[in-house]
Amino acid sequence: MKLNALLIPVLTGLGIGAYGQRVELTEYDLDNGLRVILHRDKTDPVVAVSVMYHVGSENTDGFLNRIGKLEFPIREYDLYGNPVQSVSPPGYQVKVKLENFKNYTPFLAYQKDGGFIVDTNYTMRDGLMVFKGKVDEPVLASFGVRNNPNAVIKIANGIIPGTPLSFFLTNEVISIAGDADKIYMCRVEGGTYNTEYNPVKALMDPFTDNEWTIAKTAYLKAARGDSSGFADMSAVYGGNAEKVRQLKMRFISEHPESLVSMYFLSTLINELSFGDLKAAYTMLGPTYKSGLYGKAVGDKISSMEVTSAGKTAIELNKSDLSGKPVSLTSLKGKYVLLDFWGSWCGPCRASHPHLKALYSKYKASGFEIVGIAQEQRSSLVENAAAWKDAIKKDGINWIQVLNNDGAEQYDAVKAYGVTAFPTKVLLDKEGKVMTRYIGDVRDLDDQLTKIFGF
């Protein structure tokens, strides 16, 4: 069918198109009794005319969906009445305008299919950098610039990159504007979930800015031989982390149906206790539990549940440095500390002198440590070499196993739900889980004092 009748405007206005762009809408009555709506993407020279409904009792071909967006109808025509081939909904357009932008390399990064996409391809349009692509589900993305000397910290053997901007990426038009020297403070407009995320991010931005400023000061002092700035940096980071956690938890409790809440909870899986994490997850609605962030939280809860206090520890099924099988069953009768670490992990290695002191103090009273290393090299040979070298350099003499060896058959890190290093799990003499520690082990000292009485 061709629409070769005269188009008579009835109503003109602005609306949000099916693809998220602003479009100009004009309603027309045709002289053959057909009423149509013309929708014009103001950035696109192609004009489509879509049959929205017939006057009278004929069936509706198009409609406004439940959130007020114009859905593309079954039939589309150009201004001359020729059918327009249907197109699948496009993906995102991220439009960026930065002050102080020079010969830098902008990038857009986000998770997809179990990995990361880092996109540096963009086109220039009307003075804007435009990134295009498509995501399968809403995802938190990072935008940053490389090669900007004002957005990095120079250290002796390299650089520390600056904090990027975070925002929710959806298949919509999203605008970013701000200063290339402070990308993390840029303004974001557009995108369904940024409407919810932006107010919270605005409250967290001063903490981010404060941390970046004090980090630059600390490393500048260190370059002059003064390491005092790192203590200040650690104190600020610790205080800010607690404030950010409180902001996230308050948002979660007030917005249980929000994707942003599920994302926030996924960032806290290494900070909350098993009970608190499970309670918060249970409180959230079902909509996003099957998505990227919901799965991450759900998997963490499942793994923590099987290794929670009172549960029998999962057997290791690993071999030690000499190739001898390590069995937790054989260690019953002793208090056993499972230490998940890696040669690459600075905090892990830094904790070894203290663990050596604890081991020396309590070994004769029935205390054992089993180190479970997770290495990050490209081959098992390289992983084993890095692992053995770290053991030798750190002088650690308790039981050691390499998780990478045989991880295809049994992955101890995954089985115990370890998503942060170092993680330590204390077992009682019956081989049951007593306590789990992430990072700082000061509470372990108190626990061992209670157990052994000294």
- Which two structure tokens, joined as six digits, stand for 282? 């249970």
Please state whether beta strands 92-99 and 173-179 pair in parallel, antiparallel, or not at all (unpaired): parallel
Same domain? For 329 and 444 the reply is yes
Q: Is residue 445 part of a domain?
A: yes
Q: Is residue 311 part of a domain?
A: no
The phi and psi torsions of 188 (rounded to 5 degrees) equal -125, 130
DSSP codes joined into one string, 331-390? GTTSEEEEEEE-TT-HHHHHHHHHHHHHHHHHGGGTEEEEEEE---SSSHHHHHHHHHHH
Q: What is the pLDDT of residue 163?
A: 92
Q: What is the pLDDT of residue 5?
A: 35
DSSP annotation of 136: S
Contact predicate 178/163, CB 8 Å: no
Say which amino acid occupies 139. V
Q: Is residue 361 part of a domain?
A: yes
Candidates 166, 110, 164; CA nearest to 133 is 110
Same domain? For 444 and 382 the reply is yes
- Which two structure tokens, joined as six digits, stand for 237? 């980071």
Q: Which of 52, 77, 102 is the last residue of a domain?
A: 77
Same domain? For 206 and 181 the reply is no
Question: What's this model's pTM, rounded to 2 decimal places?
Answer: 0.68
Q: Which residues contact residue 399 at a Cβ distance below 8 angstroms, ignoring those fewer than 6 apart?
A: 320, 326, 368, 369, 370, 371
Task: Walk along the chain (454 residues) and give the pLDDT tens digit of each residue.
Answer: 333 333 333 333 333 333 333 344 444 444 444 444 444 444 433 333 333 333 333 333 333 333 333 333 434 444 455 555 544 457 999 999 999 999 999 999 999 888 889 999 999 999 999 999 999 999 999 999 999 998 888 887 778 888 999 999 999 999 999 999 999 999 999 999 999 999 999 999 999 999 999 999 998 898 888 988 888 898 898 899 999 999 999 999 999 999 999 999 999 998 898 899 999 999 999 999 999 999 999 999 988 888 888 999 999 989 999 999 999 999 999 999 999 999 999 889 989 999 999 999 999 999 999 999 999 998 999 999 999 999 999 999 999 999 999 999 999 998 898 888 899 999 999 999 998 888 767 789 999 999 999 9
Same domain? For 324 and 445 the reply is yes
Same domain? For 218 and 175 the reply is no
- Which two structure tokens, joined as six digits, stand for 119? 């996109």
Same domain? For 379 and 436 the reply is yes
Residue 206: count of CB within 10 angstroms of its CB: 12
Q: Is residue 1 part of a domain?
A: no
Same domain? For 186 and 235 the reply is no
Instruction: Tell me how many domains the chain contains.
Output: 4
Same domain? For 46 and 126 the reply is no
Q: Is residue 109 part of a domain?
A: yes
Could you tell me the CATH number of the domain that includes residue 377?
Answer: 3.40.30.10
Question: Which residue carries 């909509």 as its tokens?
Answer: 287
Q: Which of 77, 105, 122 is the last residue of a domain?
A: 77
Which SS3 state, helix, strand or coil, does residue 220 take?
helix
Q: Is residue 87 part of a domain?
A: no
Q: Which of 192, 216, 251 is the last residue of a domain?
A: 192
28 Cα distance to chain centroid: 47
Domain extent, residue 33, equals: 7-77
Same domain? For 168 and 96 the reply is yes
Candidates 305, 307, 306, 313; CA nearest to 336 is 313
The phi and psi torsions of 409 (rounded to 5 degrees) equal -85, -40
